[in-house]
């Protein structure tokens, strides 16, 4: 096995790690398909280069200050902040800017499906009626403790309250003692929404 030199290790840390960190955190914020870093190494290097260009001058300035020149601990803190902490912050900033651009109509809606857009933008609860494959109708309250999966695997639902629905489709009363209902996309035909 070839020996890794310190210079090579620093190149990996400086030009791959920050981008990989940013891509991982972005994947936690925005649903996406799972990927192996080896398949997106060029993208990781691009993000790392961008991070390097933005943080290099401030990091160099901080490293030239008297507090850093005499302290190895402060130097390491600056390097860790520049190449690990700052890359964690970039995805939050990017997502916030994209949400603002979307709200102002500068870019198209980024949700992959109507399902993602509806459930991703919900600020208040709503009522759902679900028509099962056997034409039975069940329904309940979708609120803070409920869950709807997102792309790339949408359609899974957890309704935190299950309600009795009469023959006219009216929500009558909550089924007491029921913790909710889990549904897979293969369990139902349609979902009706009552906001």
Mean pLDDT over each residue of the chain, to the nearest integer: 84
**Cβ–Cβ under 8 Å, residues 62 and 78:** yes
The continuous run of DSSP H or E covering 142 comes out as strand 137-142
> What's the confidence (pLDDT) of residue 115?
84
Phi, psi of 178 (to 5 degrees): -100, 125
- Average pLDDT (121-136) is 88
> Could you please report the per-residue DSSP string of 74-97?
HHHHHHHIIIIIHHHHHHHHHHHH
Give the CATH fold of the 114-194 domain. SH3 type barrels. (2.30.30)
Length of the chain equals 195
Q: At what angle do helices 17-29 and 6-15 cross, to 10 degrees?
A: 30
Q: Residue 1 — pLDDT band, cuts 50, 70, 90?
A: low
pLDDT digits (tens, 9 = 90+) for 60-87: 888 888 877 777 788 888 888 888 899 9
Contact 139/172 with Cβ under 8 angstroms? no
Over residues 142-185, the pLDDT tens digits come to 998 898 888 888 889 999 999 988 888 888 888 888 778 889 99
**What pTM was estimated for this model as a whole?**
0.64
Beta bridge partners of 193: 128
Round to the nearest angstrom and report the end-to-end CA distance of the chain: 62
Structure tokens at 166: 């009469």
Widest pairwise Cα distance in the chain: 79
Distance CA 130, CA 135 (A): 9
Domain residue extents for the chain = 6-103, 114-194
Q: What is the pLDDT of residue 176?
A: 83
- Residue range 95-117, pLDDT digits in tens: 899 889 888 888 877 777 788 88
Spatial neighbors of 67 by CB under 8 A, at least 6 apart, are 74
Instruction: Dig out the tokens for 123 from the structure.
Output: 């600020």
Residue 89 binned pLDDT confidence (cut-offs 50, 70, 90):
very high
**Residue % of the chain over a pLDDT of 90:** 20
Tell whether the model's pLDDT for residue 2 goes beyond 70: no
Structure-token match 């009469």, residue found: 166
């Amino acid at each position: 096995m070839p020996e890794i030199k310190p210079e090579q290790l620093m190149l990996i840390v400086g030009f791959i790690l920050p981008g990989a960190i940013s891509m991982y955190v972005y994947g936690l914020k925005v649903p996406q398909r799972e990927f192996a870093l080896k398949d997106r190494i060029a993208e990781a290097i691009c993000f790392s280069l961008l991070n390097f260009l933005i943080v290099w001058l401030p990091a160099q300035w901080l490293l030239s200050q008297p507090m850093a020149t005499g302290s190895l601990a402060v130097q390491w803190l600056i390097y860790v902040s520049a190449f690990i902490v700052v890359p964690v912050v970039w995805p939050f900033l990017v997502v916030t800017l994209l949400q603002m651009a979307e709200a102002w109509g500068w870019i198209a809606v980024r949700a992959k499906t109507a399902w993602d857009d509806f459930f991703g933008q919900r600020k208040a609860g709503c009522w759902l009626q679900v028509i099962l494959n056997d034409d039975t109708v069940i329904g309940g309250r979708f609120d803070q403790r409920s869950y709807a999966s997102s792309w790339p695997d949408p359609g899974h639902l957890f309704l935190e309250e299950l309600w009795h629905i009469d023959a006219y489709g009216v929500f009558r009363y909550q089924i007491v003692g029921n913790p909710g209902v889990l549904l897979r996309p293969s369990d139902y035909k349609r979902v009706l929404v009552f906001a």
